[in-house]
Every structure is written in C-alpha cells, then in structure tokens.
C-alpha cells in the first residue's frame, strides 16, 4: 500500500517537467521575436530598397526579335540591361583579311596574292576568262599518292582560298583529275572513285572554312581529261590535279550545266 502511494505522489508532480519545458520554449520564442523587431534600421532600408527595385523595376525580359524587314534593338534597352550590343562578323570573315569581294578581278588578285609562293613554284595556277576563274592545284600539295585524305599542308592552302571565296556569292565547282595509272583498292576501285573523292574532300574543307555549301559542287573526271601527256612522269604529275572553277553565276547547278 505504501508503494502505491509513492507512485501516485510521483505522477502528480510530472506536470512540472512539461510546464518547465513550455516556459523555456516560450522564453526562446519571445527572444527571437525581440531580435527580429530590433533589426538594424540601416540594413532594413537597404533590403527594402533592393526589394522595391526588383519588384517595381521596368520589364527586364528580352524583347522578342521581329522576323522580317524590321529588326531593331534600341540602345536604351541595352543600357537598361548593362549589355553592350555585340556585332557578329560574317561567317568565314577574318580580322586581318577583307573578304568582301565584288568582281572577278578582285577574287583573282586576292587568291594570286595569297598563293604567290605556290604559284612561283609551279604548284598552283590561277587563270581567268569571261565565265570562270580557274584555280588549279597540284594534287601533291593536297593528298598522298592514291589517297583522298588531305595531308597537313593542304589545310592552310584551302584556308587561304576560302578566306576570299567566303566573301563572294559565286558558284564554285571543284573538279578532281588523275593520271592514267590504274588504281584498284577496296576504297578506290578505279580512278573515278579517287578523283571524285578528292573533289569531295576539297568541297568539305571549303565548307569547314566558312564557304556556303549551297555554292559548292564536286565533280570527278578520272583520267579522261588530261592536260599533258601521261607518257612522262612530269606529264602525269600535271594531270593529277584539283581544279576550283569560280563561276560568274550564283546558281551552282546552272553553272554545272553550262
């Protein structure tokens, strides 16, 4: 009986523990509320002005660009967004080379100047007539024998040509030629495949350097359009060539048919 009385006495005093916990939490709550109410006035003003500027500022989303004849982006919009207007150079443009060309003579002069060393060594010829500018490249400066993969020295040559041609709109025909030495590999069963692949490689390189692919066409002539005899090593070397024909026309298919 005595033990039961002790348990009842203990249970009656347990509420004091809960009450003490409640008082502690209430005290902490008022401390937090007081600290919030006494926030630094200067910091509060800064925060208030910042929030006001965010929510009351003028619209800062990018204005959609109108597609058509009228395209504008006012300078005031650029200043509001702290963004300076960016002027993007045309594709294929070079900071040190003026690629805007308007006449056949300009194209001829620019290419002749950029390939002067190769021309003087007899590896490149540049000719012009009423219909075409003809740039003839010795295959040896572009490819290894029996292959259509460009050698390292080919890239700067094509790059120099592309710098000028990317600034014009004329159609460009790339022609591949071989000598009459037969070739029979899995990749190139005949000289038709080899000459066509070489022309296509140069087209791809021109495109990589910024020339519009819509202006380009690749043609392979195999061994059937020689410019020299195939009975000598020098003649065969001259016949192994890639020719770029720059047409006065802008339509590449019309240029091919002509």
At 79 the pLDDT is 37
At 83 the pLDDT is 32
Closest to 101 (Cα-Cα) out of 153, 164, 180: 164
Closest to 194 (Cα-Cα) out of 227, 235, 222: 222
At 167 the pLDDT is 84
The pair of structure tokens assigned to 46 is: 């800064």
Q: How many CB atoms lie within 10 A of CB 148?
A: 22
Parallel, antiparallel, or unpaired for β 241-247 and 172-177? antiparallel
At 88 the pLDDT is 29
Hey, which CATH number is domain 104-257, 3.30.450.20, 3.30.1330.60, 3.30.70.270, 3.40.109.10?
3.30.1330.60
The pLDDT averaged over each successive group of 10 residues in the chain (258 residues) is 54 69 79 63 51 47 39 37 35 42 81 93 92 95 96 96 90 97 95 97 96 96 96 96 90 60
Asked whether the whole model's pTM tops 0.75, one would answer no
Q: Where in the chain is the domain with CATH 3.30.1330.60?
A: 104-257
What letters, b where the CB count within 10 A reaches 16 and e where it falls short, cover 24-62?
Answer: eeeeeeeeeeeeeeeeeeeeeeeeeeeeeeeeeeeeeee
């Amino acid at each position: 009986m005595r033990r039961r009385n002790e348990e009842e006495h203990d249970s009656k005093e347990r509420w004091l523990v809960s009450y003490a916990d409640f008082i502690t939490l209430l005290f902490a709550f008022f401390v937090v509320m007081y600290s919030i109410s006494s926030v630094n006035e200067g910091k509060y003003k800064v925060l208030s002005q910042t929030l006001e500027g965010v929510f009351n500022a003028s619209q800062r989303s990018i204005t959609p660009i109108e597609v058509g004849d009228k395209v504008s982006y006012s300078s005031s919009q650029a200043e509001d967004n702290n963004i300076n207007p960016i002027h993007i150079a045309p594709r294929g443009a070079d900071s040190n080379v003026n690629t805007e060309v308007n006449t056949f003579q300009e194209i001829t002069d620019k290419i002749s100047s950029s390939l002067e060393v190769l021309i003087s060594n007899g590896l490149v010829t540049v000719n012009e007539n009423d219909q075409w500018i003809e740039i003839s490249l010795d295959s040896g400066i572009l490819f290894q024998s029996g292959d259509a993969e460009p050698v390292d020295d080919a890239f700067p040559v094509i790059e120099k040509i592309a710098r000028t041609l990317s600034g014009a709109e004329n159609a460009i025909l790339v022609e591949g030629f071989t000598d009459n030495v037969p070739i029979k590999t899995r990749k190139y069963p005949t000289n038709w495949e080899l000459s066509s692949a070489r022309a296509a490689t140069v087209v791809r390189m021109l495109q990589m350097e910024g020339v519009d692919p819509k202006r380009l066409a690749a043609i392979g002539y195999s061994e059937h359009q020689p410019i020299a005899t195939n009975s000598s090593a020098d003649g065969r070397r001259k016949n192994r060539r890639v020719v770029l024909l720059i047409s006065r026309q802008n339509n590449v298919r019309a240029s091919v048919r002509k």
